[in-house]
Structure 1
């Protein structure tokens, strides 16, 4: 089974993924793949440069993420244009990593915008949504990314709402409390998914 893991920026997806990883669950991280694809010399970066111009590349040849973030914030069509370049490449690499992993009980596909984009959503058998208090999310992202509140709020407003994500969720994880509470929720979901995976495997005919 492939389980989608998603949630709004600052909700704590990475922390949840780390807890699953401690249970030996294989995780494919779409964000990490995106970063790999936009390293110096990668074809995706060349496409981005051709589309957005030389300012999108740092002197060291890597993607100028702060410039691109500001450009997207000020140019309504830029986000869609960037996604049209990157998402097919990211989805292809995600599928490759999922396919080449040794047989497992289930795997996690972590995608920040999974709900918003069918290209990722269609890869998943079930979806886990991580949710957190809005002010907590804003504070986490401001501290982590060293950006101002206005920028964080703009990013949040460009993502699906909590209500929309809840409608798509098979499992909800609330990340407003302690790490222990978070771990307990992951423990429960892990048990359920292992049971479902085992039942599915037993029901699959050998011939």
Structure 2
């Protein structure tokens, strides 16, 4: 079976750009955030459990989930976040495992997982952890440029994530991303060549 790399990094680290480069190189890529969104999209498998846990007030007249209200709720109330994670994480993990089965003969694949370090159950899905690393000030500046959020708002988001040192301690591989997008792409290309060299090929 394929070796699975867990790709993670804090907000503003450039993790999504690294994931896109792996995909461009032809590496199987599973996006945990995309799976989460699909589970709570119209008709998503998680909606009945969300309604049971949080009530109908979080749904509009057409039955569509009010995502902004749910985000605000879990941001304000830690117990609501814990309840949401308890119902969502098993569904996300199951969906990832289903997707992994599509690539059993690949040399390796990447799972883009923002909460890989913060939530240990996700670690069972991967063999290695790759962290895209930048200084905290770089995170703040990049997020401000792309979103217009204040530094205090960004720091609150960062405080809800694993700290930089915690991610680095968990990492098997680290890619620094203080430079340009082109420099990041080149680093991912070199790492891809390394992974191809050290991971075995599985025959059909």
TM-score, length-normalised on structure 1?
Answer: 0.88
1:163 is aligned to 165
1:183 is aligned to 185
Compare 73-82 and 108-117 and name the one that shifted more: 73-82
Q: Structure 2 vs 1, CA of residues 32 and 23 (structure 1 numbering), >3 Å: closer, same or farther? A: same
Q: 1:85 aligns to what SS in structure 2?
A: helix
Q: State the distance in 2 between where 1:24 and 1:155 align.
A: 32
1:116 paired residue among 112, 115, 118: 118
**Cα offset for 1:71?**
1.3
**Cα offset for 1:185?**
1.4
State yes or no: 1:127 paired with 2:129. yes
Compare 50-59 and 150-159 and name the one that shifted more: 50-59
State yes or no: 1:12 paired with 2:3. no
Cα deviation 1:88-125 (Å, max 9, x = unaligned)? 00000001101122621100011100012222111111
Q: 1:2 aligns to what SS in structure 2?
A: strand
1:100 is aligned to 102
Give the aligned length. Answer: 202
Q: Structure 2 vs 1, CA of residues 15 and 81 (structure 1 numbering), >3 Å: closer, same or farther? A: same
Structure 1, unpaired ranges of 5+: none
TM-score, length-normalised on structure 2?
Answer: 0.89
2:39 is aligned to 37
**Cα offset for 1:37?**
0.4
Q: State the distance in 1 between where 2:74 and 2:151 align.
A: 17
1:82 paired residue among 81, 84, 94: 84
Q: Structure 2 vs 1, CA of residues 132 and 97 (structure 1 numbering), >3 Å: closer, same or farther? A: same
1:68 is aligned to 70
Q: State the distance in 1 between where 2:66 and 2:139 align.
A: 24
Cα deviation 1:17-50 (Å, max 9, x = unaligned)? 1111111001000000000000122231221122
Q: 1:9 aligns to what SS in structure 2?
A: coil
**Cα offset for 1:134?**
2.2
Q: Structure 2 vs 1, CA of residues 21 and 83 (structure 1 numbering), >3 Å: closer, same or farther? A: same
Q: State the distance in 2 between where 1:64 and 1:138 align.
A: 28
Q: Structure 2 vs 1, CA of residues 166 and 104 (structure 1 numbering), >3 Å: closer, same or farther? A: same
1:151 is aligned to 153
Q: State the distance in 2 between where 1:56 and 1:130 align.
A: 35
Give yes or no for contact 1:7–1:130 (8 Å, CA) kept in 2.
yes
> What RMSD over aligned residues (CA atoms) do the two structures have, in Å?
2.2
